[in-house]
Structure 1
């Protein structure tokens, strides 16, 4: 059974196919087509099929990671969206929680006020009110007002509408009726409800999550439909699955109904792929470090389990997002990041990127600004004639020209300026990793760094050295690791119910009935999507806090009947989790459950890739010796650097740095005082010299 993984990045679209029966595999990269990413997907797919002699009918599964929703939010290029809410609550999206994202900044940007997802003039209010604790109706819904609001929004060119009412997480009856009316009046619009998108308490976060889904809904829907149509045109009838932010894959139908599921689609696949590569090498604690052309994405995995975010820190572009998501930290730092001198005279790199078009000056497509790729080329760390396996040449002269202009502005030597670009970039990345490790009580020195993406292996060793991480793992195909992660992702559907219960008066019957209802809901959803439920396993969890606290910790619940004994185990898990997170626990305090969660997991088939038996020898792998520039012991020095074909390197033979390892989808830099060792899994492990 052949499966294909396709990950669309800001600069390149990466593809990998694997025959799950034989272990045969192939990879391919094409430039991303920003105006319509599906065009790049189909171009890459057809070329990959030709290269691998794959018939369309042989493809059983297509797994896809998309940045369509992410980019729409980051670039503020979504739909003209409207909202219908309770009278008196028109400005929930604007007011937020009266909290400043940065407490002490007087110049800060507040995203939901500076660039609202739904402009105020497109927010309509109607009479109708439900009340807690059960969601009973206090005031009937004004259906005539709903119809009037829908007609007004239609006349104003609104193409997507969010229905957001108070306490709909307790009872969605008003939202469901309003959606039906709006759909009658606006049959071509994308219409959704906050109870469908995120049925949880906290109205600002729930409303904003629904607004995000509405803002990206039409664009995501068009993209998915275009992709499905293009696959059909290519006679590919295999199942299409799309990566969700929770680290699982879902059906296209699920994505078009709830496009917010894909806010971190491609990024989640990278963390999964990096964790899998680490485990194959026998490493259970890894920091995944995925650098593409535009951004660097950082994740943590322990024992193959990727960390998930909590309600306090789940956001995209500054907007809170109440959705299950892997804990991924993204910064604007990649191969295309632009180096510049700001108005205050500071030397900076990123977050602006040259992207795919025109790209870095070295691409020869008209780029005129110095980038990280240009700096690496000028320093001799990239081979001008061997980029993308020789399919794309790099223009050394153009790179030298833009770096020379930058150096003149800085009053520096060009090589110093180029190395400065990399030092600033690496420091930014190291600081981002510290924010996910050191600042959370995690010692990065106990981890391995999995360097992936097209630019990860170029920077990985130097970033690891800044953090005193002892080794770097470079996957077999680092530039395709996110696409590989798609192939190992499980099918994963989530359901969340808000339910308030206190440990001192827990209602066991209510716990059991809620979990039974959630399991039935998930089973029905799987059946509607035509999925086999026989092999699905269910996982339970709850969001818990001490009574009176404002934020929660996620704690697992065992399967089976919820009994007094089972609940006591949950309370003890919470105490331990609180102590691990905050350094203390209040074991005599009452505990409050606020949300119950259930996940249906359909395991993906095992991906059993063959191990390597050896290479062609170090001499056969040697391509040339060239000069490359590195900073060692505080001094910038030029070193004779050995250049090797990575696929020819023999197992068990160390490759001392400085060295450059060439392959199609990336270039690996082994700096001085480091040693690379090819591993039987196809990865390369770079050991760094410990600091004295």
Structure 2
């Protein structure tokens, strides 16, 4: 069995290959190549072929390939999606324009309102038709005008639109009109990307439902083309394995399902990193973790509580200020990475990011034409990155180019030495990241002193200890392969689908009829999830189902996710649900009103299936301190306090379990470099992960 994980970032594409032979012998190989922004599949396939050569296997031998991609996210950020048409209920043409009558920043007169200035669907392409379904039963008040739907579809055909959304007012109660309209559009426009809102997210709230469906159609054609290109290029390279795509909810899906509902891929890229971080935490016996994935372009932050991923509440699931009602791991991305450009702004302020040098031209030290100083250039100037060990020597870096870039654009304009300017770059970027970590932890009632900070991504271990000090984390963890933790996370995930249905019930006052409706809805949703898993080839025996209800106080605007007890939904279940809601509300907001009525709004069934997971060999026990076998050489290295010290380098691949490396030290490997400052010690765990803490026991 050979499985490959591929994660695409803005600068590098990371790969891991696991081979398990018949006798149980297992080998793991890693690789990293520059991303190809115009078409990510080019770098993906090139990396797979090169990785196979490194592992000594043929591409035809690969059994499964798991892929995390930023294609969907990039389309939204760059606003280069499809021209979309919409067919909607008469009188509700401008729902997407009005939204919730809220501005992203209430007190800013200049702030852009993106759903109005850059709408996913232009007003001229939103066509209304006669139809009306009424609550609470979903009865038909006005029949769907089929001729008007056909005329709208023909108009879209004349305009050459790439995608069409059908969104009617109460389709979550009765999807019949939407499905009939979608069928007509598919007949008239057989080559267009067509979706009905009930197929994308079948829940209450027309603005959020329409916006999610619009996003699905906006990114749909390009994502589908990308996935088609990926499968074609893989086949041409001899890779005939089944392919699975990482979703925003932390599960994987098929290429076909991802092509139909690409809106589920909007956090595909960073999700794999959080999954890999949880798996690494388990190996280090750490269940309370703050994760930060620092790549070349961005830093992605998340929190793992008691070994569980944090899933965003529905009110927070948005991309580029557009509401997207699909389940997402709670990840906050900021523009801070190794490629972040440092500059002096027009007011004379010293700034770093969010603009990045990316993969092309990259930092100045890459010698690919980049002349602006970046965070990576600052690390090079301070002696923290050695040319012969950068990507295992696979990418040449020139320290003279880094020094020239910092001197020209930072040091000379501000009257600083090159060293002080480089230290300034790191201080600014570290504090930017620390503030983002605080907003995702302290601001939510999480005390970082009780959490490990896991810093990964190619640049993560370079910043990990500095960030740990700023936020006062318990300790810092550098995974075995920091640069490819997201790719490794792809090999420890499982298929995961979520199906929803709105069903409004006041828990403390529900009737037997209300509970019967809830039971019927849960049964229907579980059958949908089971059918999808079966269609993907997962046997019934391995399928698992979790029930979630999104609840709120009566009159509240948005809900919180609450786990539903097993068994039939009864009056006792409803009371337990209310109690659980109070606990979740208190955890989220610090208080709960236990004398108030709780309303269940949306029912959700999560279907998953057991799958193979990555297994790493346990290291041979060492117990050595600053092992001479792993020692390489020593070079001058400048630390955050400005002191330059002759600092030894250690080969991480030669360290054993329970070895310790006392700072000052630099631990090098193919896909990352770990900094251990003076006063800190790194301890090697059983699988090779590093736990770094102060010598006095404090991070």
- Normalising by structure 2, report the TM-score: 0.96
Q: 1:684 aligns with which of 681, 684, 690?
A: 690
Tell me the distance in 2 between the aligned counterparts of 1:328 and 1:22. Answer: 36
- Partner of 1:620, secondary structure, is coil
What is the CA distance between 1:236 and its match in structure 2?
2.5
Paired residues in the alignment total 689
Tell me the distance in 2 between the aligned counterparts of 1:527 and 1:624. Answer: 55
Tell me the distance in 2 between the aligned counterparts of 1:3 and 1:648. Answer: 25
Conserved 8 A contact 1:253-1:529? no
Q: What residue in structure 2 maps to residue 647 of structure 1?
A: 653
Q: 1:505 aligns with which of 478, 500, 510?
A: 510
Q: 1:516 aligns with which of 523, 535, 551?
A: 523
Q: What residue in structure 2 maps to residue 478 of structure 1?
A: 482
What is the CA distance between 1:30 and its match in structure 2?
0.8
What is the CA distance between 1:614 and its match in structure 2?
4.5
1:8-40 per-residue CA deviation (whole Å, 9 max, x = no partner) reads 111111110113443311011111111111111
Tell me the distance in 2 between the aligned counterparts of 1:631 and 1:260. Answer: 42
Conserved 8 A contact 2:493-2:613? no
Tell me the distance in 1 between the aligned counterparts of 2:260 and 2:500. Answer: 16
Q: What residue in structure 2 maps to residue 666 of structure 1?
A: 672
1:189-238 per-residue CA deviation (whole Å, 9 max, x = no partner) reads 10111111111111111111111111110111011111122222233332
Tell me the distance in 1 between the aligned counterparts of 2:117 and 2:429. Answer: 28
What is the CA distance between 1:690 and its match in structure 2?
6.6
Q: Trace 1:350-499 onto structure 2 (pairs within 5 A).
A: 350-405=353-408, 406-499=410-503
Q: 2:628 aligns with which of 589, 595, 619?
A: 619
Conserved 8 A contact 2:530-2:543? no
What is the CA distance between 1:691 and its match in structure 2?
7.2
Q: What residue in structure 2 maps to residue 630 of structure 1?
A: 639
Q: 1:207 aligns with which of 202, 205, 210?
A: 210
1:590-649 per-residue CA deviation (whole Å, 9 max, x = no partner) reads 1111000001110222433211004697223222211111232xxx22122111211123
Tell me the distance in 1 between the aligned counterparts of 2:328 and 2:305. Answer: 16
Q: What residue in structure 2 maps to residue 566 of structure 1?
A: 573
Tell me the distance in 2 between the aligned counterparts of 1:631 and 1:51. Answer: 37
Q: What residue in structure 1 maps to residue 249 of structure 2?
A: 246
* Structure 1, 408-417 or 532-541: larger mean CA deviation: 408-417
Structure 1 residues 460 and 593, CA, compared in 2 at 3 Å: closer, same or farther? same
- Partner of 2:279, secondary structure, is helix
Tell me the distance in 2 between the aligned counterparts of 1:40 and 1:236. Answer: 15
Tell me the distance in 1 between the aligned counterparts of 2:506 and 2:382. Answer: 62
Tell me the distance in 1 between the aligned counterparts of 2:634 and 2:536. Answer: 56
Tell me the distance in 2 between the aligned counterparts of 1:407 and 1:131. Answer: 67
Structure 1 residues 107 and 343, CA, compared in 2 at 3 Å: closer, same or farther? farther
Conserved 8 A contact 2:289-2:451? yes
Tell me the distance in 2 between the aligned counterparts of 1:663 and 1:378. Answer: 19
Q: What residue in structure 2 maps to residue 525 of structure 1?
A: 532
Q: Trace 1:199-278 onto structure 2 (pairs within 5 A).
A: 199-278=202-281
1:293-336 per-residue CA deviation (whole Å, 9 max, x = no partner) reads 11000111123211000012111122111001111111011110
Tell me the distance in 1 between the aligned counterparts of 2:30 and 2:471. Answer: 32
Q: What residue in structure 1 maps to residue 18 of structure 2?
A: 18
Tell me the distance in 2 between the aligned counterparts of 1:238 and 1:588. Answer: 56
Conserved 8 A contact 1:614-1:651? yes
Q: What residue in structure 1 maps to residue 586 of structure 2?
A: 579
* Structure 1, 513-522 or 647-656: larger mean CA deviation: 647-656
* Structure 1, 223-232 or 10-19: larger mean CA deviation: 223-232
Q: What residue in structure 2 maps to residue 7 of structure 1?
A: 7
* Structure 1, 233-242 or 323-332: larger mean CA deviation: 233-242
- Partner of 1:69, secondary structure, is helix
* Structure 1, 336-345 or 644-653: larger mean CA deviation: 644-653
Tell me the distance in 2 between the aligned counterparts of 1:15 and 1:650. Answer: 24
Tell me the distance in 2 between the aligned counterparts of 1:640 and 1:112. Answer: 55
* Structure 1, 529-538 or 614-623: larger mean CA deviation: 614-623
Tell me the distance in 2 between the aligned counterparts of 1:614 and 1:44. Answer: 33
What is the CA distance between 1:174 and its match in structure 2?
1.3
Kindly indicate whether residue 615 of structure 2 is the aligned counterpart of residue 608 of structure 1. yes
* Structure 1, 131-140 or 251-260: larger mean CA deviation: 131-140
* Structure 1, 591-600 or 301-310: larger mean CA deviation: 301-310
Tell me the distance in 2 between the aligned counterparts of 1:109 and 1:207. Answer: 21
Q: 1:298 aligns with which of 272, 294, 301?
A: 301
* RMSD between aligned residues: 1.6
- Partner of 1:676, secondary structure, is strand
Tell me the distance in 1 between the aligned counterparts of 2:399 and 2:637. Answer: 14
Tell me the distance in 1 between the aligned counterparts of 2:157 and 2:341. Answer: 42
Conserved 8 A contact 1:9-1:292? yes
Q: What residue in structure 2 maps to residue 541 of structure 1?
A: 548
Q: What residue in structure 2 maps to residue 175 of structure 1?
A: 178
Conserved 8 A contact 1:386-1:393? no
* Structure 1, 277-286 or 94-103: larger mean CA deviation: 94-103
1:336-388 per-residue CA deviation (whole Å, 9 max, x = no partner) reads 01111223322211111111011111110000111111111011111123210
Conserved 8 A contact 2:632-2:651? yes
Tell me the distance in 1 between the aligned counterparts of 2:119 and 2:344. Answer: 31
Conserved 8 A contact 1:618-1:650? no
Structure 2 gaps, min length 5: none
Structure 1 residues 604 and 304, CA, compared in 2 at 3 Å: closer, same or farther? farther
1:84-140 per-residue CA deviation (whole Å, 9 max, x = no partner) reads 212222221111111111122222222212222122222222221111112221212
- Partner of 2:542, secondary structure, is coil
Kindly indicate whether residue 144 of structure 2 is the aligned counterpart of residue 141 of structure 1. yes
What is the CA distance between 1:670 and its match in structure 2?
1.2
Structure 1 residues 439 and 5, CA, compared in 2 at 3 Å: closer, same or farther? same
Q: 2:166 aligns with which of 146, 155, 163?
A: 163
What is the CA distance between 1:528 and its match in structure 2?
2.9
- Partner of 1:368, secondary structure, is coil
- Partner of 1:514, secondary structure, is helix
Structure 1 gaps, min length 5: none
What is the CA distance between 1:158 and its match in structure 2?
1.2
Tell me the distance in 2 between the aligned counterparts of 1:653 and 1:687. Answer: 14
What is the CA distance between 1:669 and its match in structure 2?
1.1
- Partner of 2:33, secondary structure, is strand
What is the CA distance between 1:57 and its match in structure 2?
4.2
